[in-house]
């Protein structure tokens, strides 16, 4: 099905099932431990051995020799495969670092060996018996030291966030110089780890030249393509299966060392191998969010209208890597005739930087939305009103291109009313409750809506059961449920009559999970397949498909009706299709918006910060399942608390690795850190987005949260922190005198 004109009325608009706050249909399996995750698939292949990955103990240079004799002789060891045993494996188009093979080391904890043994403990102990000789080379590990000479580069996150190396509209320099009110500030965001609950894990089994991997991966079609290329095998000889994923946040968009080394270990051992990366390897061997250094300049007239805005960002990565596209949202979020965005990329020898939840916008808004607050204060304007004053209904760089839907003003106004913004004291440091300095902060949220081809197969049996198959993944987001809701709505059957099967590369390729594109695109693919199945059902029953009504397990046309299962007969009916998009995304700017409001308390003596209340008002098209959508948003808000107050991968700038590479040293929010969170979804649809009229929301809940917290801390204390995370050491020396 091709979607190239805005949607009109269709079966989804009935909203009998879609749009209802529906419990997760996979919830019982997950809460009882029956949902099989990758490392737990003991039933899929007999006689599984355990693999353990050894990472390089240095960051740059060459391995000159590896002595594996002691490891091979250790109890329980089946085989050992080292990086010197083979040439460097080919790098897929999705990977920046090479995953295995050859003596060259690009970064700390790059995989150098896999040990396969009868137990995990035996494999781990044997791995540390391998003696490795290195020839170290000097490395580049300090972003700040290399920022001044970093070249301009363009970048694309592949998640809807992209920007040219430098982009100018109008005369920024002249307009900024002439602006009566100006700010020019620099902000920094740190390296961050995905720190998902389930680490990267794979079970691999060979049957002749055919390989099956049960793995934890967000993008099955990408994974199949990339693993086939990396291992040099034919794609048709490869199957990926990933029905449940315990979190990814972008860290599992691409294949990593676990899947490659499980496959290599299984081939060498001649038996299935299961392998999970340890927490230090999740931080140093896989990917992370890049640190950024961002300079923002804003000029405005005394009426508060922005006349000039510039956002320049510097990030770092391995050679051939991409920048963090932190300037992208600034191209679209606020009006202003004279504009400049630029990105620079420093080559570093740290582990690979790549997509992490809301790449680009998440760190970009952490800086931009502080700058907007600073500008509002300098103008003497309320921060909410300043944002509203500079709203735009068109792409500021291409005014002929309108937004398909843009309700940022509604998000801000409704949020201010619900949060009690009028009670905020505009003078920082004036509100006290006992030992706590209390403040409120606001920030706009922004995230683009990305359209991607997505397919599905649907089958109807004589009992009226509809089975949906697609390689779409559920990474904790609720994909099973919204896909079931879509099929139930389209085929007119109750939800309990729908079976959903996901995550298998033998199923039609979907959009996959990432970039908040999964829900809208994958359900649109199911919609397309169901349209075909409806036609087949009507034809089988002798009905005119244009007149057929599907409801309550029946198909009706005029004064005739029949149970839907009757159309299937003994053999059943199947249909397969995919959604393909035309040029609507070029004709309309498709984005999502939010108003984030936060209240914090800061201990007047110690600088300890506690988030007290949070509110997100979201504009994201039709909400397919308000219950799971809310879950996504509050999870993202929680992630925003971590980014604002605690999360930071600390770099050892001598040896080039992340020191706090486990969950003891890398702090993330826990239940005690998170207060009441309220989420409001605007009642809207976006016909330009898909037949579902929906858009993504999972990353929108993160975008802007960090800045809202930073602005609340400033309102509470009068201390403006521009370097994340906002830890108490950055506050304590500047807090107001304690009476």
| Residue 637 Cα distances to 287, 708, 725, angstroms | 22, 11, 15
Count of C-beta atoms within a 10 Å radius of residue 733: 8
Burial 318-335, CB ≥16 within 10 A → b, else e: beebbbbbbbbbbbbbbb
Helix, coil or strand: residue 88: coil
- Contact between 373 and 381 under an 8 Å Cβ cutoff? The reply is no
Residues 6+ apart with CB under 8 A from 472: 454, 456, 479, 483, 502, 503, 510, 511, 512, 513, 518, 522, 525
Residues 6+ apart with CB under 8 A from 476: 245, 246, 247
Length of the chain, in residues:
739
d(CA 349, CA 106): 6
Question: How much of the chain is in helix, strand and coil states, percent to nearest 5?
Answer: 30, 30, 45
Please state whether the peptide bond connecting residue 725 to the residue before it is cis, i.e. omega within 30 degrees of 0.
Answer: yes
Helix, coil or strand: residue 203: strand
d(CA 626, CA 23): 10
Strand pairing of 676-681 and 210-215? unpaired
Q: What is the DSSP letter of 271?
A: S
Q: Look up tokens 């080379």; give the residue.
A: 137
Q: Please identify every residue annotated as catalytic.
A: 699
**Distance, C-alpha 658 to centroid of its chain:** 21
d(CA 5, CA 406): 19
Q: What is the DSSP letter of 508?
A: P
Helix, coil or strand: residue 231: helix
Closest CA to 152 of 327, 287, 309: 327
Closest CA to 350 of 13, 649, 108: 108
| Residue 219 Cα distances to 229, 304, 449, 497, 736, angstroms | 15, 45, 18, 27, 50
Got the DSSP string for 677-737? EEEEE-----TTT-TT-B---TTTTTTTHHHHHHHHHHHHHS----BSS--GGGTGGGSPP
| Residue 286 Cα distances to 193, 291, 349, angstroms | 9, 16, 14
């Amino acid at each position: 099905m091709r979607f190239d004109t805005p949607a009109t009325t269709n079966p989804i608009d009935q909203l009998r099932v879609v749009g209802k706050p529906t419990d997760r249909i996979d919830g019982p399996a997950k809460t009882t431990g029956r949902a099989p995750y990758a490392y737990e698939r003991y039933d899929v292949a007999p006689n599984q051995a355990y693999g353990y990955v050894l990472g390089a103990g240095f960051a740059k240079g060459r391995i000159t020799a590896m002595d594996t004799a002691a490891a091979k002789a250790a109890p329980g060891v089946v085989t050992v495969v080292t990086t010197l045993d083979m040439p460097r494996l080919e790098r897929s188009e999705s990977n920046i670092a090479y995953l295995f093979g050859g003596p060259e080391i690009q970064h700390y904890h790059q995989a150098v060996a896999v040990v396969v043994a009868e137990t995990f403990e035996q494999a781990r102990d044997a791995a540390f018996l391998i003696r490795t000789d290195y020839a170290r080379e000097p490395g580049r590990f300090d972003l700040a030291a290399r920022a001044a000479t970093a070249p301009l580069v363009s970048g694309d996150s592949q998640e809807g966030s992209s920007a040219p190396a430098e982009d100018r509209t109008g005369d920024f320099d002249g307009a900024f110089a002439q602006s009566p009110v100006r700010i020019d500030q620099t902000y920094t965001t740190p390296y961050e780890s995905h720190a998902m609950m389930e680490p990267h894990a794979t079970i691999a089994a060979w049957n002749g030249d055919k390989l099956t991997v049960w793995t934890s991966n967000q993008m099955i079609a990408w994974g199949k393509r990339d693993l086939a290329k990396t291992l040099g095998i034919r794609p048709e000889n490869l199957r990926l299966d990933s029905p449940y994923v315990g979190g990814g946040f972008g860290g599992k968009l691409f294949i990593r060392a676990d899947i490659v080394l499980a496959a290599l270990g299984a081939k060498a051992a001649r038996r299935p191998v299961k392998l999970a990366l340890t927490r230090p390897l999740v931080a140093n061997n896989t990917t992370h969010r890049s640190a950024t250094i961002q300079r923002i300049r804003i000029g405005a007239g005394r009426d508060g209208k922005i006349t000039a805005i510039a956002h320049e960002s510097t990030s770092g990565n391995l050679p051939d890597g991409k920048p963090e596209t932190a300037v992208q949202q600034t191209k679209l979020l606020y009006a202003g005739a004279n504009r400049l965005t630029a990105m620079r990329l420093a080559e570093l020898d740290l582990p690979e930087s790549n997509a992490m939840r809301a790449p680009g916008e998440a760190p970009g808004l952490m800086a931009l939305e502080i700058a907007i607050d600073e500008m509002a204060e300098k103008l003497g304007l309320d921060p909410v009103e300043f944002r509203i004053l500079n709203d735009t209904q068109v792409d500021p760089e291409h005014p002929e291109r309108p937004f398909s839907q843009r309700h940022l003003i509604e998000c801000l106004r409704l949020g201010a009313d619900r949060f009690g913004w009028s009670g905020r004291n505009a003078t920082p440091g004036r509100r006290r409750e006992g030992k706590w300095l209390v403040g409120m902060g606001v920030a706009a949220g922004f995230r683009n809506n990305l359209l991607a081809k997505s397919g599905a197969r649907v089958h109807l049996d004589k009992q009226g059961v509809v089975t949906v198959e697609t390689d779409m993944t559920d990474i904790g987001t609720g994909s099973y449920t919204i896909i079931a809701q879509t099929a139930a709505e389209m085929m007119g059957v109750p939800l309990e009559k729908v079976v959903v099967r996901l995550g298998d590369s033998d199923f039609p390729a979907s959009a996959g999970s990432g970039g908040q594109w999964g829900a809208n695109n994958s359900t649109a693919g199911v919609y397309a397949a169901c349209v075909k199945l409806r036609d087949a059902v009507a034809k089988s029953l002798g009905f005119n498909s244009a007149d057929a009504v599907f409801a309550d397990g029946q198909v009706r046309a005029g004064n005739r009706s029949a149970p839907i299962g009757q159309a299937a007969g003994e053999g059943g009916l199947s249909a397969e299709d995919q959604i393909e998009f035309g040029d609507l995304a070029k004709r309309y700017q498709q984005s999502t918006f939010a108003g984030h409001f936060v209240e914090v308390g800061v201990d007047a003596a110690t600088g300890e910060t506690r988030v007290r209340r949070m509110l997100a008002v979201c504009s994201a098209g039709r909400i397919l399942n308000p219950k799971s959508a809310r879950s996504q948003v509050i999870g993202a808000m929680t992630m925003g608390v971590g980014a604002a107050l605690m999360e930071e991968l600390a770099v050892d700038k001598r040896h080039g690795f992340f020191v706090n590479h486990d969950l003891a040293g890398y702090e993330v929010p826990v239940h005690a850190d998170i207060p009441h969170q309220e989420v409001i979804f605007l009642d809207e649809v976006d016909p330009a987005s898909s037949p579902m009229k929906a858009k993504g929301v999972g990353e929108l809940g993160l975008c802007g949260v960090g800045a809202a917290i930073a602005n609340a801390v400033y309102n509470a204390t009068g201390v403006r922190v521009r370097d994340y995370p906002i830890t108490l050491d950055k506050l304590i020396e500047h807090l107001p005198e304690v009476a």
